[in-house]
Amino acid sequence: MDRNQVRHSRRGRLGYAISKTIGTIIKRKDSRLFGAPYWRCLGLFLIFAACFGLRTVALADGTDVSTNAPDVSTNTAPTTTPAPASLLRPILSTNTASSTFLQIHPELAEPTPGDRSSLSLHPETTANTVPPEVIPPGTGIFPETVQPPNPMAETGNLADHLLVVYNTNDPDSQGLAQYYATKRNIPAERVLAISCSDSEEITREQFDDSIRSPIVSYLCQKDWMAREPQTVRVGDRILNLLVATRNDIWAIVLMRGVPLKIAPDPSDEDSMEYQPQFQVNAAAVDNELALLPVFGLPNGGFVPNIFFDDQISGIKRVGPELARNMVMVTRLDGPTPADVRRMIDDSFYAEHNRLAGLAVIDSRGLTDHNDYTVADIWLRNARDMLVQDGWHVKFDDKPDVLPATDPCNHVALYLGWYHEGAVGPWVTLPNRFVPGAIAYHLHSYSATTVRSDTVGWVGPLIAHGADATMGMVYEPYVELTPHEDIFTRRLLQGDYFAEAAYASEPALSWMLTVVGDPLYRPFRQPLDAVLEQASTPHTPHDDWMLLQKVGREIATCEMAATTQNLTQALDVPGAGPVAEEGLGDLLENVNEPAARDATVQAYKKALAGETTSIDRIRVGLKLAQYYGKHGMDAQAQSELSELRKFDPIEARRFGVLDSPVPASIPSEPPTVNNKPERVHSPPGLARLPSPPTPTPVSQ
């Protein structure tokens, strides 16, 4: 979904108009009444109020506020005065049980169709009749007031509020559920068996009857959830909902065997969406279950996510307030039960030892501000956050994805886009990920199945070592996919994986599936505390943490990046080949006479310590490149020759040719799952939208 379409959707037009007006005021430099700082502060405050109010309206019935009711805006003259604040707040019709409330507010008695006031989200054609501003305490589906976000606030203990769900019709599902519950100390009463299809795709009726209903019934039976009926009016639409007033289950994890996605149903045309592109009623099972506390919403379209961390409005922390509105749902799933057990074990290990390794950001280098550029911006923002946090980041901005010949290894975090199916180093042996690695590739239908190691991206990434990922079960449109910069920021702040994933996703009842341990907190342990426990000699994990510590000190200007400082910090007793290679990488950018010899020595020490072919080839190529860059062609050729002697087959596979620069295309295509890999194949699903269609991920 491109920004223009967000702007012209029913949910977005009011917010855009208000922010545009405020922006005009702020830009005026000739204000005589107040100074520029005053207008900036006022503008930011009004933007916050407008966006928060919009979100509250949009979510007042738990759905998108666009309606299939007749559009009264086409027959109503625009108002000549600014819309009052009441238009930015939920307008609720009566709850028939609230007789006392009706006596106090008779204007909210059930209106006749001809008398019913409309809440139009078209600001330029707002009805002249303003609905009354009435907000009964406790009756809003979503909270009317939200505390300013506190990024460093301690997250509640999610494990105490987690429900594990497995499918009795899958032979492995119960065993995996018990294995996970034991690992995470989840009591037996919070492990729920349901009987549903073991197919990945089910109908809406199957979802309601065999997944949603049994879970809700169990929560109510255990007195973990309390609900009450509520009648909500949005525009000319009256919705009778069941809304949670209390919910002790904050997160749910679905075990392998529980269906993945809800198939589209053309016979169900009920939708709150304005644009036809969003009237689809297909969804990921996880993302649909996220709205468990609210029942009775139309199936078509998406619901704006109140947990989406745009740093403007909404709930920013998991807890009882959020649980009355939504539940964070992930799944532990993958090509094989063994993959799922490994994901559980690796996440637990990484959480207790802190995730560390190389970060790889694979953007497309888009700079022309088209509808797809926003995804590249998210990736560049994520890169900058990681660099500021001291990470070693491999950043690629070429149009194609990384080729299989790239010898990257020890990858802890991968974010990239896009290719129709998994290709490149991520599915080329040896596996490149460290235990606990998080990997996400943006593409439509990247999770059309998660139980295949060859189709899409989610399954292949898991099969090749990634332990947490996300993907799309159907076409999501770009703007309604996870924002990788928000996802990265929340992870680095110490969030649970489930928190970071849902905070980055703008929509619920939509296409995202989140695959991984919801309790996984890769950065729960402080870097310095874990580094104090480093062994001598260092493990590769110790070296990566040392590199991050030095990177942080450089990024925060605590250390000047000089040859002497870097050598003293990294060439220390016990340092292994990873630290020496990282030292060489840093010294390459130091403009000092002493840096040249120090760089060569660092790479040579790394070569002497590496034992695996891929790592020796990578370091050797860096050294050959460095020689070539400084006119030392004989040394470069000698280094390449040494690599070919060390492992001729692997050297050829990773493109070690006679040239002192590494090749990006191999001499013969490497194989992925015993099939030739399309190293530079064109993007798949070449579907370019024509305006005003929202932007699909696949173009």
pLDDT digits (tens, 9 = 90+) for 77-119: 333 222 222 222 222 222 222 223 223 333 323 333 333 222 2
As for how many domains the chain has, the answer is: 1
Q: Which residue has the higher pLDDT, 317 or 331?
A: 331
Q: Which amino acid is at 563?
A: T
Sole residue written with tokens 């890999």: 677
Sole residue written with tokens 């199945």: 449
Whether 597 is in a domain gets the answer yes
Predicted confidence band of residue 134 (pLDDT cuts 50, 70, 90): very low
Write out pLDDT tens, residues 500-518. 999 999 999 999 999 999 9
Report residue 358 CA to chain centroid gap. Answer: 19
Element (H, E) at 394: strand 393-396
Q: For residue 364, what pLDDT is reported?
A: 95
Q: Cα separation of 391 and 411, whole Å?
A: 11
Q: Which long-range contacts (CB under 8 A, 24 or more apart) does 553-557 make?
A: 553/390, 554/390, 554/586, 555/387, 555/388, 555/389, 555/390, 556/388
Please calculate the CA angle 213-216-217 and round it to the nearest 5 degrees: 80
Cβ atoms 476, 510 nearer than 8 A: yes
CATH number of the structural domain spanning residue 646:
1.25.40
Whether 49 is in a domain gets the answer no
Whether 664 is in a domain gets the answer yes
Distances in Å between the Cα of 209 and the Cα atoms of 215, 260, 475 are 10, 15, 25
Report residue 22 CA to chain centroid gap. Answer: 30
Whether 477 is in a domain gets the answer no
Whether 285 is in a domain gets the answer no
Whether 164 is in a domain gets the answer no
- Cβ within 8 Å of residue 483, ≥6 positions away: 378, 504, 505, 506
Beta strand 671-672 with 675-676 is antiparallel
Sheet-wide strand order for 283-284:
201-202, 261-262, 283-284
Sole residue written with tokens 């050797």: 620
Predicted confidence band of residue 370 (pLDDT cuts 50, 70, 90): confident
Cβ atoms 211, 376 nearer than 8 A: no
DSSP state of 209: I
Cβ atoms 661, 628 nearer than 8 A: yes
pTM for the whole structure: 0.75
Question: Nearest Cα to 330, choosing from 156, 500, 507, 523?
Answer: 500
Q: For residue 494, what pLDDT is reported?
A: 94
Average confidence score pLDDT of the chain: 77
Q: Which long-range contacts (CB under 8 A, 24 or more apart) does 12-17 make?
A: 13/121, 13/122, 13/123, 13/124, 14/50, 14/54, 14/83, 14/87, 14/88, 14/121, 14/122, 14/123, 15/50, 15/51, 15/54, 17/123, 17/124
**Total Cβ atoms within 10 A of residue 245:** 13
Q: What is the largest CA-CA distance in the chain?
A: 93
| Burial class of residue 195 in the structure, from the number of CB atoms within 10 Å of its CB (0-12 exposed, 13-18 middle, 19+ buried) | exposed
Q: Cα separation of 19 and 71, whole Å?
A: 24
- Cβ within 8 Å of residue 385, ≥6 positions away: 485, 488, 489, 492
Predicted confidence band of residue 276 (pLDDT cuts 50, 70, 90): confident
The CA radius of gyration of the chain, in Å to the nearest whole number, is 27
Predicted confidence band of residue 266 (pLDDT cuts 50, 70, 90): confident
Beta strand 251-255 with 162-167 is parallel
Whether 480 is in a domain gets the answer no
Residue 342, both tokens: 């490994």
Q: Cα separation of 546 and 55, whole Å?
A: 43
Whether 7 is in a domain gets the answer no
Question: Nearest Cα to 478, choosing from 521, 449, 431, 512?
Answer: 512
* DSSP letters spanning 269-292: --B--SSGGG----EEHHHHHTTT
Element (H, E) at 466: none
Q: Cα separation of 72 and 70, whole Å?
A: 6
Domain of residue 642, residue span: 527-668
Predicted confidence band of residue 143 (pLDDT cuts 50, 70, 90): very low
Q: For residue 315, what pLDDT is reported?
A: 75
Residue 415, both tokens: 């974010």
